[in-house]
Chain A
Amino acid sequence: AQSVTQLGSHVSVSEGALVLLRCNYSSSVPPYLFWYVQYPNQGLQLLLKYTTGATLVKGINGFEAEFKKSETSFHLTKPSAHMSDAAEYFCAVTKDSSYKLIFGSGTRLLVRP
């Protein structure tokens, strides 16, 4: 069965600093991987996804993630944090023969001025 682990329920960075949110997955088949962002009192918005092809995926708002099969990881990065990046971030997985999103527990990003 697939599962997703997000290390760190809270991450705090200074404005302008590198953002790194960690996600590891377990899957018996090549997965489809996603990062979603949730702002307060809002639904989930897709940041980026990996299905096939290039392992470095670029998303919205300057975020990117790299699929590393050998490490079963899909960490989310952004070179320079902005105050507006403060939100909760969810990593999710679904496999080819399935459709349900299986979410990690989420990481709340705090950006300090």
Chain B
Amino acid sequence: GAGVSQSPSNKVTEKGKDVELRCDPISGHTALYWYRQSLGQGLEFLIYFQGNSAPDKSGLPSDRFSAERTGGSVSTLTIQRTQQEDSAVYLCASSPNNRLHYEQYFGPGTRLTVT
């Protein structure tokens, strides 16, 4: 079946602009995660959604970052007033809510460049 998809694949934006990154998880997966991959920080957890529970936002680096998940499926990560340090690859992953919960399936990522 279809894997995790993300759009856009590449995004170039000017400093100070807002951006929205989209993630379509695997159908039926109830858990959704966002990670950030950057040269300086490696792979970092950002936020986690599980079903209808309140999301775990503990990894978001600042209040300029927010995310939502509509209808338990598609998720959007929004970065307001982008800064150059936000340049990174943003990875989305999803996971089924069963004993394989810890097996996360990753999308191809969105490469964000802030100029």
A-side residues, CB < 8 A to B, are 32, 34, 36, 41-46, 49, 51, 90, 92, 94, 99-106
Contacts and interface: CB of A to CB of B under 8 A. Distances in A.
Given A99-B31, A99-B48, A105-B42, A49 B91 contact: no
Given A99-B31, A99-B102, A101-B104, 4 more contacts: A43-B106, A46-B103, A46-B104, A104-B42
Contacts of B102: 32, 34, 49, 51, 94, 99
A29 B43 CA distance: 22
Going nearest first, the 10 A-B pairs with the smallest beta carbon separation are A43-B106, A103-B43, A44-B106, A100-B45, A43-B108, A32-B102, A105-B42, A43-B107, A43-B109, A42-B108
A105 B37 CA distance: 10
B103 A44 contact: no
A112 B103 CA distance: 32
Interface of B: 4, 31, 33, 35, 42-45, 48, 50, 56, 59, 91, 93, 95, 101-109
Contacts of A105: 42
Contacts of A90: 43
A34 B48 CA distance: 18
B106 A45 contact: yes
Contact of A100 (B59, B91, B103, B105): B59
Contacts of B33: 99-101
Contacts of B44: 103
A79 B2 CA distance: 32
A105 B103 CA distance: 19
B4 A106 contact: no
A45 B93 CA distance: 11
A59 to B, nearest CB: 12
B9 to A, nearest CB: 9
A46 to B, nearest CB: 6
Contact of A101 (B45, B108, B109): B45
